[in-house]
Amino acid sequence: MKLVDNLTKEEYINFFNKSKYNHFLQSYEWGQASKAKGQTPIYIGMKDDKGNIQAAAMVLKKNTPLKMCYLYAPRGIIIDYSNEKLLNEFTKLLKDYLKGINAIYFKMDPGIVYHEIDDEAKPIADGKNNYELFKKLTNLGYKHQGFTTLFTRNQPRFTFRIDTTRPFEEIEKAMNKTYMKTVKRSYNYDLEVTDSYDTQTFFKLMNDIANRNNFNGNSQIFYEAFDKEFSKEKNVKYITIKIYPDKIISKAKAELEPIQNDLEEGKIPQKKMADTQNIIARLQKDIDTFTPYEGQYPDGLVSLILICPTTNHAMWTLYIGNNDLATYTFSVNRAYYEAVKYASEQGLEFLDLFGTCGEPHTKEKNYAGIHEYKRKLGGTYTEFIGEFDIIAKPFWYRVLPVLLKIYRKLRK
């Protein structure tokens, strides 16, 4: 066996597509898009004597002072983790490789489930687990970074995954009833759901969310690179929702007028008066909400874009950008519903909602709210095995975080 760091695009993609351990963060495209973040993708592979690839990884390289570097394989490596011999050989070759390129460390966070958990993130008795794999990795010298429960590492350690191999009717039944009611209400606004995409529009919508929630998103250059790479390989699903303010206003006025006439003429029975007043209030609120936009968007106003990278067997809801009108019209709920439906129609194995916390009732930021929202879609609460590091230079491994902290402060 030998480890190479120059797999061709064709070699890498062919191996990637054949593996059940693939993940969009290990895709060739993610590596190329990451260049926009200042990271250098390296496509490494372990080949046998006949040149057949037995394991691979898309590794992101970051250079440091003194001609050193560190490597990160997001949701990698791509290997048969049940094959102990293969894992041993790859690790041995990897350690030699790190020395050869003067690397400080190598990090990975495999998309491997640690154990089955209940709604409170507690291990299920007699549930499936990968405790033996955890022991194998630590015995091989991989340093585990802890069983974190919040968003403190490179990738979320918890998520919700929806099994989309089931009949769609069964998937719908697993969704929260209140959530499904809002999805049905979204149809009242005649939303247009398309797969069109424009980076500038998305970036503006994403910035609206960032400003509201006080966080920093990616740059527009990154989103442009992401679109270029993933669209080229047709490994992304865009869900775009357009709103037509003029149509909503016209529809609301058309519904409101006869009701108001009946009310003025005393045709509404007393027992229906409360419901009638609620309908009038709702329709008037629609008119008031969309009147500021009247006449400005004859071709529709894009209020939401959901970006979902895909592989040959799965899909992830990665980025979402939306404005206040999307919330008002239940476009957000509709978009996630459309994503689930698309994954089901395409015969994919699962839809991953890409991240939640491991503390369902935490008071930290709005993590509990995010968790509760994603829970309503009826997926399986999932805990991954976590981050592991192979340390090549122990001293610099301890010092690097301090230096990076100082560097980031100086940049600000």
pLDDT in tens, the chain (412 residues): 999 999 999 999 999 999 999 999 999 999 999 999 999 999 999 999 999 999 999 999 999 989 999 999 999 999 999 999 999 999 999 999 999 999 999 999 999 999 999 999 999 999 999 999 999 999 999 999 999 999 999 999 999 999 999 999 999 999 999 999 999 999 999 999 999 999 999 999 998 777 666 666 799 999 999 999 999 999 999 999 999 999 999 999 999 999 999 888 888 899 999 999 999 999 999 999 999 999 999 999 999 999 999 999 999 999 999 999 999 999 999 999 999 999 999 999 999 999 999 999 999 999 999 999 999 999 999 999 999 999 999 999 999 888 878 777 776 6
Q: Is the peptide bond before 248 cis (omega within 30 degrees of 0)?
A: no
Retrieve residue 66's tokens. 């003194």
For the whole model, what pTM was predicted?
0.95
Q: Return d(Cα 308, Cα 317) in angstroms, integer.
A: 5
Q: Return d(Cα 291, Cα 59) in angstroms, integer.
A: 51
Given CA atoms 86, 89, 91, 94 in this order, what sign does their dihedral have?
Answer: negative
Element (H, E) at 323: none
Paired with 302 in beta bridges are: 242
